Structure 1
Amino acid sequence: MSRRYRSKGEVVLDALVGFAFTQLPDPDTGSLRGDLPALLTAPSRAGRGVAGDLNRALAVEALQDDEFAARLWHKLIAVRREAV
């Protein structure tokens, strides 16, 4: 592990930060009725497959390390929340 990262979770978090924003839905169907389903189903899709495994691993790391939990919030969750 390099000096830049304290744990495997840190490596995964940095990798996901860039990837996550390419996966954010940007629904623009012209109506709220069309936009909401696309926006609301995105989290369930993120819970599947490799992305879901990575999200669960990050959650476990955050439960074990308060500093990592804060970085996870600021780097990924808060920024995505702003986008929505």
Structure 2
Amino acid sequence: MRPGPGRPAVNEREVGEVFARLNQVEHRSRNDRQIIAALEDEVRRVDAQVERLQARIYAALAVLSGVGSLCLWVLDVWL
């Protein structure tokens, strides 16, 4: 916008401040994108760990169920 009646002129210092602030915002935006990408990777790793843990828990429960059934059968036969 051109300065006109009732509008103050924008000096070079103010323009420089605006461009410096814009550069800071762009830099912060790049950093934020990198952080978001790193967090997404971390979430994927945690999800994979949770899935592995769930599989181990289900396997342990299946084994315990089988062993428990076997123990009950043995007790039933012997008693």
Q: TM-score, normalized by length of structure 2?
A: 0.26
Q: Which has the higher contact order (CA 8 A, sep 6+)?
A: 1
Q: TM-score, normalized by length of structure 1?
A: 0.25
Larger Rg: 2
